[in-house]
Amino acid sequence: MALRYGLFICFLLWGGTELCYSQPLWQGGSPPVVVECLEAQLVVTVSKDLFGTGKLIKPADLTLGPGDCEPLVSMDSNDVVRFEVGLHECGNSLQVTEDALVYSTFLLHNPRPVGNLSILRTNRVEVPIECRFPRKGNVSSHAILPTWVPFRTTVFSEEKLFFSLYLMEENWSSKKRSPTFQLGDIAHLQAEVHTGSHVPLRLFVDHCVATLTPNRNASPYHTIVDFHGCLVDGLSESSSAFKAPRPGPETLQFTVDVFHFANDSRNMIYITCHLKVTSAYQVPDQLNKACSFSKSSNSWSPVEGAADICHCCNKGSCGIPGRSKRLVGQWPESASRSRRHVTEEADVTVGPLIFLGKVADHGVEGSTASLTSVMLGLGLVMVVSLTLATIVLGLAKWRQVSFHPVM
């Protein structure tokens, strides 16, 4: 609703120079000047009976502001004169205070003689006008129209998320200090996303592979998580599983029984996981899930969501109707192009995980055997060298005695 202001009009009285009255000069009825402060416009309505004497003023004698803006054209039958100008027009001044925006101007009545007469019957009057808008809050009377996408979605796509993958201690209380394991141990891994000022998000581990180098496409490899969140490592002779319930929607924990690659002397592996997020309010489905296999019940179960979202883990075609089963270990294509509701994702690598089991022992045994062989070889060389030296010295002495007989 427009703000209406009744102005106190200051007039110079006939024949006097008294100060302006602190009260309006009119008695009852509507004020002679009414101001409407709109969102971007100033509307001033002036009664032609400006002085309340019954003598009407001429519209041509009225101007608004330092720019001398003229009133709207009106018929002689109208008893008011109107001005409609922008807040920044007519030389209006703007002052910014702590609590308000103040637009200031003035209405000027400057009478001019009629015809050949050199007399005036009304005074020159300058009426100050002021519009105040509060700086806090919505100054518009209209509803705020939303954009075509919610603000939450806009922030979702513009801010950067930070993904991480850590080795944790057995009690999940802190990061693991040492990356070493014995074969038969269980590695505790924690995936996180730092959301910052984002709306609540839920993190998922879409795919994980173990390799001998940080290169996720290296060979040999072992698939740990596949088919958009199925922890397939639990199908083998291991107890690998996701931990339920989560510590929070932005964190996902899981365990993996440690292993080493057969027929390879290296005693370390790297684990690379493809992490992604969805809105925390989105219901988990076949594309966004965390499923573990239980040997006791011979079935899959999700960390959250309906149990049937894990049924596709046996088929290997989760959420991709009509597409053939993807080969285990094949790294997925860029998920952002095929799943539009996934707004952020990243590949994160943890490692190396160093194993002190069979592979390391074999290495120690091989080193010891090699060292023993070298020592034996050096000893044999020394014995042969000493023997040859003794023979050479003996022959030299014999020749010396034979060619130098005693006289």
Radius of gyration from C-alpha coordinates of the chain: 46
Eight-state DSSP code of residue 309: G
Please give the residue range of the domain that contains residue 234: 155-359
Residue 246 is predicted with a pLDDT of: 95
Residue 51 is predicted with a pLDDT of 80
Distance CA 138, CA 396 (A): 117
CA distance 168 to 188: 5
Per-residue confidence (pLDDT) for residue 326, from 0 to 100: 39
Q: Averaged in consecutive runs of 10 residues, what is the pLDDT profile of the chain (407 residues)?
A: 40 35 47 88 88 83 90 77 90 86 89 70 83 73 56 51 92 92 92 82 95 92 94 89 95 94 88 93 94 93 94 83 40 43 76 72 45 60 73 68 50
Q: Are residues 94 and 196 in the same domain?
A: no
Determine the pLDDT at residue 186: 94
How far is Cα 26 from Cα 50, in angstroms, rounded to an integer? 10
| Residue 245 preceded by cis peptide, ω within 30 | yes
pTM for the model: 0.49
Helix (H, G, I), strand (E, B) or coil at 394: helix
DSSP state of 305: S
As a whole number of angstroms, the distance between CA 400 and CA 345 comes to 90
Residues 127 and 168 both lie in one domain: no
Count the neighbouring beta carbons within 10 Å of the beta carbon of residue 353.
Answer: 23
The separation between CA 312 and the C-alpha centre of its own chain, rounded to angstroms, equals 32
Structure tokens at 343: 């707004």
Residue among 320, 327, 334, 306 nearest 223 (CA): 327
What is the token pair recorded at 375?
């020592």
Looking at the fold, whether 14 and 96 belong to one and the same domain comes out as yes
DSSP 169-192: -TTSSSB-S--EE-TT-EEEEEEE
Domain presence at residue 240: yes
Q: Which residue has the tokens 């969102």?
A: 39
DSSP state string for 50-115: TTSSSPPPPGGGEEETTTTBPPPP--TT-SEEEEEEETT-TT-EEEE-SSEEEEEEEEEE-----T
How far apart CA 53 and CA 47 sit, in angstroms, is 12
For residue 219, give the CATH number of its domain. Answer: 2.60.40.4100
Three-state SS for 156? helix
In the block, residue with structure tokens 């989105």 = 282
Does residue 305 share a domain with residue 207?
Answer: yes
The number of C-alpha atoms within 13 Å of 323 and in the hemisphere containing its C-beta is 11
Please say whether the beta carbons of 150 and 100 come within 8 A.
Answer: no
Copy the structure tokens of residue 174: 């802190």
Considering 134, 167, 199, which residue would you say is the last residue of a domain?
A: 134
Return the pLDDT at 383: 67
Query: Which ranges of 247-357 does DSSP label H, i.e. alpha helix?
Result: 312-315, 335-338
| Range 43-82 burial, b when 16+ CB lie within 10 A, else e | bbbbbbebbeeeeebebebbbbbeeebebeeeeeeeebbe
Question: Within this chain, do residues 98 and 160 fall inside the same structural domain, yes or no?
Answer: no
Which two tokens mark 132?
Answer: 């105040």
- Domain count of the chain? 2
> Is 191 found in the same domain as 329?
yes
Nearest to 5 by CA among 89, 104, 92, 80: 104
Does residue 148 belong to any structural domain of this protein? no
Do 130 and 170 lie in one domain? The reply is no
- The CATH number of the domain where 125 resides is what? 2.60.40.3210
Domain assignment present for residue 239? The answer is: yes
Q: Note whether 40 and 84 are same-domain residues.
A: yes
Domain annotation covers residue 328? yes
254 & 297 share domain? yes
Residue 381, number of CB atoms within 10 A of its CB: 10
* Terminal Cα-to-Cα distance of the chain (whole angstroms): 147
> Using CA atoms, how far apart are residues 39 and 2, in angstroms rounded to an integer?
8
30 within some domain: yes
Task: Supply the pLDDT for residue 72.
Answer: 86
Residue 330 in domain: yes
Q: What's the CA gap between 396 and 391, in Å, rounded? A: 9
Structure tokens at 122: 């009304």
Q: Is 209 inside a domain boundary? A: yes
- 176 plus 122 within the same structural domain: no
Q: Tell me, what DSSP letter sits at residue 213?
A: S
Residue 170 and residue 129 in one domain: no
